[in-house]
C-alpha cells in the first residue's frame, strides 16, 4: 500500500539492517518488560514481539547483569533466525555499562539516551559525551529520548527563569513544552559537536497528554530534520491507552510527522505484551500508511443478529489471518492488502462483501439460513449448515493461494527481503 500522505522530509538513519526516515515506511517499535538479566525470558519476549511484527525492539540495560546478558540474548535470537535490531535503553549508569561491556555495546543497534537521566552539570556532559563516543566508535544510531517525567532540571530551571523576566510570561506548561524541545535539540547539537553524525540521530519528546504531545511534536518537527520517534508515554491500560495513543499519533501521522512509533500500553495482569505491536500496526494500516495483515470489515451487529455465530466467525477469521501472516508474508506477497468482510445480515452484508476481496454475509434473524460468499465482487457460493466457519476459512485459504501465489493476479514483489522464521 502506498500512502498518499506526504511525510515531513528527514535524514535517513540506519538501525541495524532497518532504515528509518521519510524515505522509508513508518516503523513499528516495541519494548520488553522482562528483567534483561534473564536472558532466556527476555529473548523469548523479543522473539514474540518480533513475530508479531515489531521491527525494532528496545530492552532496558540498567545494570551490570543486564549488560552482561545482552550478547547472550542476541545469540539466542540469532539461533532462532530472529535478527531484529535491539535498542539499549540507558540511563544514569549507561556510560559505565558501555565501557565495561563492550560486547553489549557492539551487538546493540541503537542506544537510547535520556539526557535528563544522565547526571548533573559537568558530570552529565562527561557521561553523555562518553556514551556518544561509544556510538561513534561502534557506529550505532542514538535516540535522544526526552521525557516529560525526567526533563533535564537545569534546562527547565533556566527557561523558567528566563520566562519570569519577560514582560508577558508564558504559561508554565508552554515553558515546559519548550524546555522538552530545547533539551532534545541542545543534546543533539552537543552530540554532533563531539563528532556524532546527524545521520545517526533520532529524537523523541514523550509526554503523557494528547494535546501536549501534538503541540510538542508539531513544534519539534519544524525545527530539525532528524527522524522522530512518536509515543505517548504512560498512555495507560486497555482501551484508554489505545484511544489516547491513537488520537495523539493519528493527528501527527496525518500531518506527515513521525518516522517510528511505539504504543506504550500498560499490560493488564497476565496480558500479552505483543498487543502494543498489534495496535501500532492497526493504527498505521487503518490510516492507510502501511499494510501488515488483511483487514476484516465486520459490522457491529444489532437486533437483527440474535446469535453469536456472526461475532465468532469475525473473531475466528481475524485470528486465523494474523496467525497465518508470518508464513503468508513470505509466500504470498501482497496478501497484507487483502480485505475480508464478515457481515451480520442482508441489510449491508452483500454490499460490503462485494466491496471486499472476499466476503460473507450471514443470515440475520428471520432470514433464510444461508450465507452467500462473494469473491472479487461476484457471488461465488452459498454456504449453509453447521460448518460455515471451516468452509469459509478454506475458501479464504484457497483465495490467498490462487491470487497471491506464484503467477497470482494480486501478487506483488516484497519491498524488503523478509527473514524466514525458524521455530522456537
Is 299 marked as a binding-site residue? yes
Kindly state the smallest distance separating residue 352's Cβ from ligand SF4, in Å. Answer: 7
CA 130 – CA 135 distance, rounded (Å): 9
Asked if 325 and 334 touch (Cβ cutoff 8 Å), the reply is no
By beta-carbon proximity to ligand SF4, the closer residue of 41 and 351 is: 351
Q: Is 19 exposed, middle or buried (0-12, 13-18, 19+ CB in 10 A)?
A: middle
Kindly state the smallest distance separating residue 384's Cβ from ligand SF4, in Å. Answer: 18
The edge-to-edge listing of strands for the beta sheet with 110-113 is: 201-206, 141-147, 110-113, 86-90, 56-60, 27-31, 260-261, 229-230
Question: Which residue lies nearest ligand SF4, judged by its C-beta?
Answer: 344
CA 53 – CA 278 distance, rounded (Å): 8
Kindly state the smallest distance separating residue 343's Cβ from ligand SF4, in Å. Answer: 5
Backbone angles phi, psi at 47, to 5 degrees: -60, -45
- Distance between alpha carbon 335 and the CA centroid of its chain, in Å? 20
Kindly state the smallest distance separating residue 392's Cβ from ligand SF4, in Å. Answer: 17
The helix (run of H) or strand (run of E) holding residue 254 is helix 238-254
By beta-carbon proximity to ligand SF4, the closer residue of 344 and 359 is: 344
CA 236 – CA 216 distance, rounded (Å): 20
By beta-carbon proximity to ligand SF4, the closer residue of 257 and 362 is: 362
- Quick one: DSSP state of residue 203? E
CA 414 – CA 101 distance, rounded (Å): 38
By beta-carbon proximity to ligand SF4, the closer residue of 85 and 349 is: 349
By beta-carbon proximity to ligand SF4, the closer residue of 5 and 302 is: 302
CA 296 – CA 357 distance, rounded (Å): 10
Is 224 marked as a binding-site residue? no
Kindly state the smallest distance separating residue 279's Cβ from ligand SF4, in Å. Answer: 24
CA 135 – CA 113 distance, rounded (Å): 11
By beta-carbon proximity to ligand SF4, the closer residue of 292 and 310 is: 310
The site for ligand SF4 (CB under 6 A) is made up of 299-302, 304-305, 343-345, 347-349, 364
By beta-carbon proximity to ligand SF4, the closer residue of 47 and 374 is: 374
Kindly state the smallest distance separating residue 351's Cβ from ligand SF4, in Å. Answer: 9
Q: Which residues contact 334 (CB under 8 A, 6 or more apart)?
A: 404, 410, 411, 412
By beta-carbon proximity to ligand SF4, the closer residue of 4 and 368 is: 368
Kindly state the smallest distance separating residue 314's Cβ from ligand SF4, in Å. Answer: 10
Kindly state the smallest distance separating residue 285's Cβ from ligand SF4, in Å. Answer: 22
- Cα angle value 346/349/350 (rounded, 5°): 90
Q: Which residues pair with 59 in a beta bridge?
A: 88
Asked if 262 and 249 touch (Cβ cutoff 8 Å), the reply is no
The binding site for [4Fe-4S] cluster comprises: 299, 302, 345, 352
The binding site comprises: 299, 302, 345, 352
Amino acid at each position: 500500500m502506498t500512502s498518499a500522505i506526504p511525510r515531513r522530509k528527514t535524514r535517513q538513519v540506519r538501525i541495524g539492517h532497518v532504515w528509518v526516515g521519510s524515505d522509508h515506511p513508518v516503523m513499528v517499535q516495541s519494548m520488553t518488560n522482562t528483567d534483561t538479566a534473564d536472558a532466556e525470558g527476555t529473548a523469548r519476549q523479543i522473539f514474540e514481539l518480533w513475530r508479531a511484527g515489531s521491527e525494532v525492539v528496545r530492552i532496558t540495560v540498567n545494570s551490570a547483569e543486564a549488560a552482561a546478558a545482552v550478547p547472550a540474548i542476541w545469540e539466542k535470537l540469532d539461533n532462532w533466525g530472529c535478527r531484529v535490531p535491539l535498542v539499549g535503553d540507558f540511563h544514569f549508569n549507561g556510560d559505565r555499562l558501555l565501557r565495561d561491556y563492550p560486547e553489549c555495546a557492539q551487538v546493540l543497534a541503537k542506544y537510547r539516551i535520556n539526557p535528563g537521566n544522565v547526571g548533573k552539570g559537568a558530570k552529565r556532559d562527561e557521561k553523555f559525551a562518553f556514551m556518544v563516543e561509544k556510538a561513534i566508535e561502534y557506529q550505532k544510531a542514538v535516540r535522544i529520548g526526552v521525557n516529560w517525567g525526567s526533563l533535564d532540571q537545569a534546562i527547565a530551571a533556566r527557561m523558567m527563569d528566563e520566562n519570569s523576566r519577560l514582560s508577558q510570561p508564558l504559561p508554565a506548561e508552554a515553558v515546559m513544552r519548550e524546555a522538552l524541545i530545547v533539551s532534545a535539540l541542545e543534546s543533539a547539537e552537543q552530540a554532533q559537536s563531539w563528532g556524532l553524525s546527524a545521520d545517526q540521530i533520532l529524537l523523541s519528546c514523550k509526554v503523557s497528554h494528547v494535546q501536549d504531545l501534538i503541540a510538542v511534536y508539531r513544534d519539534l518537527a519544524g525545527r530539525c530534520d532528524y527522524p522522530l520517534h512518536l509515543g505517548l508515554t504512560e498512555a495507560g491500560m486497555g482501551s484508554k491507552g489505545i484511544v489516547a495513543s491513537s488520537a495523539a499519533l493519528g493527528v501527527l501521522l496525518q500531518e506527515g510527522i513521525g518516522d517510528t512509533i511505539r504504543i506504550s500500553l500498560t499490560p493488564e495482569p497476565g496480558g500479552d505484551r505483543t498487543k502494543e505491536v498489534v495496535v501500532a500496526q492497526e493504527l498505521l494500516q487503518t490510516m492507510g500508511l502501511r499494510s501488515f495483515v488483511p483487514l476484516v470489515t465486520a459490522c457491529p451487529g444489532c437486533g437483527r443478529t440474535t446469535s453469536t455465530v456472526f461475532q465468532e466467525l469475525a473473531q475466528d477469521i481475524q485470528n486465523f489471518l494474523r496467525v497465518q501472516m508470518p508464513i503468508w508474508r513470505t509466500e504470498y506477497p501482497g496478501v497484507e492488502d487483502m480485505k475480508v468482510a464478515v457481515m451480520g445480515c442482508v441489510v449491508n452484508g452483500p454490499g460490503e462483501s462485494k466491496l471486499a476481496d472476499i466476503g460473507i454475509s450471514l443470515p440475520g434473524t428471520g432470514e433464510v439460513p444461508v450465507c452467500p460468499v462473494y469473491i472479487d465482487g461476484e457471488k461465488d457460493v452459498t454456504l449453509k449448515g453447521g460448518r460455515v466457519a471451516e468452509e469459509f476459512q478454506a475458501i479464504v485459504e484457497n483465495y490467498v493461494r490462487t491470487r497471491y501465489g506464484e503467477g497470482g493476479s494480486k501478487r506483488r514483489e516484497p519491498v524488503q527481503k523478509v527473514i524466514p522464521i525458524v521455530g522456537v
